[in-house]
Amino acid sequence: MEIIETIINGFSLGGTYAMIALGYTMVYGIAKMLNFAHGDIIMVGGYTLYVTLAGMGNPIMGLILAVLVCTLLGVTVEKVAYKPLRGASPLAVLITAIGVSYLLQSLAQIIFTSAPRMVYVGGQDGLGYVTIGDLKIQTHIIITLVCSVVIMVVLSLFVKYTKTGRAMIAVSEDKGAAQLMGINVNMIITITFAIGSALAAFAGFFMLMKSPSLTNTLGAMPGIKAFTAAVIGGIGSIPGAMLGGLFIGMIETVAQVVPGMGAYTIAIEFLVLIIVLLVRPTGILGKKRREKV
């Protein structure tokens, strides 16, 4: 029974990581930049949730507002900080993203101080348990699992079957050619940031359901881990991000259960990353490209 619970927990945590990893991977695929500030969007979503809960006490309303605020923030950051640098060295963009990350973290600390805030999505007692036969699983795990699966399916269908989704694929393949075909590349990049940030808001919601403590560095470590997940899966690849997210979630959950391994979770995850990259330099589902000489 414990094994099944662990697996379900792993999938659930993996779902959260996949949500964040999707943001990284989509932005990378389309804008060809590493959005280091992505993790901090989660944190902003968390504080939005906190404020809404304090004001209205309705977690669903909180989630909706968090999604809106994050989307708006993601788009604004893109317009203000990244758009002027389009065409500049990717390193310059990366450093700017790091700057934005620091900026968001310090702004949050100025507004909410460094003391942790408690965000009880399901009230003080938590969301309780669901029992299926002999299995006793926390409700938030089920919610996370179901929501993330639904979101991933919707996102896949969106990218595959809508006009905007196909335009996104076109832009990620070849920006110049896409532009010549009449695709509004700027618009597609904005939409990508919007979607990525909205997913980050969901991830923040899931994370706070799991553990209610909220600080301004909420998104930092999960951000790095999700980035790792995106790279393991093959950055730029949407199924890759999902796979990588599940992979990292599973490793983390298993490492926590095995005696003596818990403390080494970070080391194990990053070791796996290095090994995967050495075996497959573009990640599990990444595309190989070769430059013309």
Partner 1 sequence: MKTRKNVKPTHYINYVVITVAAIVLGILSLVGALPASYQIILENIAIAITLAVSLSMVVGFLGELSLGHAGFMCVGAYLGGKVVYVLSPSIGEIPALLLGFVVGGILAAICGIIIGLPALRLRGDYLAIVTLAFGEIVWSLFMNSSEESFGGALGMPTVRIDKDYLFIIALVVVLICLAVTQNLIRSKHGRAITSIRDNEIAAKATGINVTKYKLAVFAISAFFAGVAGVLLASSNYTVQSQKFNYNYSIEILVMVVLGGMGNINGSIIAAALITFLDIKLQTVLTGELAVMQDLVYALILIVIVIYNNAPGLKAFREKYNFKNLLAKVIKDKNDPSHARDDEAKWDRVPTKIQMDEVLSVDVQVKSPYTPDKAEKGDN
Site string for partner 1, 172-191 (x = CB under 8 A): --------------------
Q: Which of 35, 52, 105, 138 binds partner 1 (CB under 8 A)?
A: 105
Identify the H or E element spanning 71. Answer: helix 59-77
**From the CB of 265, what's the least distance to partner 1, in Å?**
8
How many other CB atoms are found less than 10 A from the CB of residue 154?
A: 10
- In the bound complex, what is the minimum distance in angstroms from residue 286's beta carbon to partner 1? 8
One-letter amino acid at 16 equals: T
| 61: its two tokens | 């309303």
Cα separation of 269 and 278, whole Å? 14
CA 79 to CA 102: how far, in whole Å? Answer: 18
Q: What share of the chain is helix, strand, coil (3-state, %, to 5)?
A: 75, 5, 20
Tokens 């809960």 correspond to: 53
Q: Three-state SS for 117?
A: strand
Residue 125 CB, nearest approach to partner 1 (Å): 31
x-or-dash pattern for partner 1, window 217-236, by CB under 8 A? -------x--xx--x---xx
Residue 76 as a binder of partner 1 (CB under 8 A): the answer is: no
**Does 85 engage in binding with partner 1 (CB under 8 A)?**
yes
Q: How far is the CB of 140 from partner 1 (least distance, A)?
A: 27
Site residues (CB under 8 A) for partner 1? 28, 32, 34, 81, 84-92, 94-96, 98-103, 105-107, 109-110, 113-114, 224, 227-228, 231, 235-236, 263-264, 266-267, 270-271, 273-274, 277-278, 281-282, 286-293
